[in-house]
């Protein structure tokens, strides 16, 4: 944990008061249907194998998320009704299922944060493409929010795999080219504009391209 690695000017306090207690972990997910997930893997693996990889990523992410103590965990689904496999996992672990809304990923994240921060004080949002999450990593994000205005989990490719907030200004999410190597740096610049202090966790790898699988033999085996 790189506490305070973003000083954000004077390190002003949060501009809007929020509930002091409560922790919520949001898992952004896609319905694991062939042709709709891991589309950059499809030319090399085919739609069925790419979907199998994503199902394993999502399964492992959810099992990790529910191990974080004292945090409500919710699945935020992109669209449609959850496939039975996903609905069964949610029911088995008592996970609420929410629906994403917004014209792009940034606006969907902003809407999810805004809704959650009405009732809890600390919210962490993760995707379902990172095989390197563990409960300690997610716990470190919530711990950082006890002292900082925001926390980021950088992705090695220049994006981020985790973002945690105590307030949710639209500035952090609007007019960003998601999926590009500039996302993390743009987000840091926006945090500086807000005058916020933030922490950064150690970088993590995610799965976007076929070459990313070489780092994770168990996922490569599923793909094969």
Q: Six-digit token pair at 4?
A: 């305070």
Q: Is the pLDDT of residue 79 over 90?
A: no
Q: What is the pLDDT of residues 187-209, one digit of tens each?
A: 999 999 999 999 999 999 999 99
**Mean pLDDT on 60-67:** 97
pLDDT at 21: 60
The Cα 181–Cα 195 span in angstroms is: 23
H/E stretch holding 72: strand 72-77
Q: What is the pLDDT of residues 97-146, one digit of tens each?
A: 999 999 999 999 999 999 999 999 999 999 999 999 999 999 999 999 99
Query: Average model confidence (pLDDT) for the chain?
Result: 91
Q: Six-digit token pair at 41?
A: 């893997």
The Cα 14–Cα 135 span in angstroms is: 27
Q: Is the pLDDT of residue 1 over 90?
A: no
Q: Is the pLDDT of residue 10 over 50?
A: no
70 by DSSP, 3-state: which?
A: coil
The Cα 200–Cα 24 span in angstroms is: 19
Predicted TM-score (pTM) of the model is 0.90
């Amino acid at each position: 944990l790189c506490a305070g690695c973003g000083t954000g000017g004077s390190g002003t306090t949060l501009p809007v008061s929020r509930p002091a207690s409560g922790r919520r972990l949001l898992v952004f997910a896609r319905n694991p249907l062939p042709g709709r997930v891991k589309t950059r893997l499809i030319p090399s693996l085919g739609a069925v194998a790419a979907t199998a990889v994503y199902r394993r990523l999502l399964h492992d992410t959810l099992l990790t998320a529910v191990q974080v103590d004292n945090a409500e965990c919710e699945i935020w689904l992109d669209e449609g009704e959850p496939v039975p496999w996903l609905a069964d996992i949610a029911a088995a672990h008592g996970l609420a299922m929410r629906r994403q809304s917004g014209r792009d990923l940034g606006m969907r994240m902003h809407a999810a944060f805004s809704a959650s921060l009405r009732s809890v004080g600390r919210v962490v949002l993760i995707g379902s493409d990172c095989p390197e999450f563990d409960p300690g990593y997610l716990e470190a994000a919530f711990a950082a929010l006890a002292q900082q205005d925001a926390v980021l989990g950088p992705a090695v490719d220049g994006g981020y795999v985790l973002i945690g907030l105590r307030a949710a200004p639209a500035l952090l999410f609007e007019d960003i080219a998601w999926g590009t190597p500039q996302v993390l740096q743009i987000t840091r610049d926006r945090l500086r504009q807000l005058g916020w202090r933030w922490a950064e966790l150690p970088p993590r790898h995610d799965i976007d391209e076929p070459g990313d699988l070489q780092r994770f033999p168990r996922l490569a085996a599923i793909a094969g």
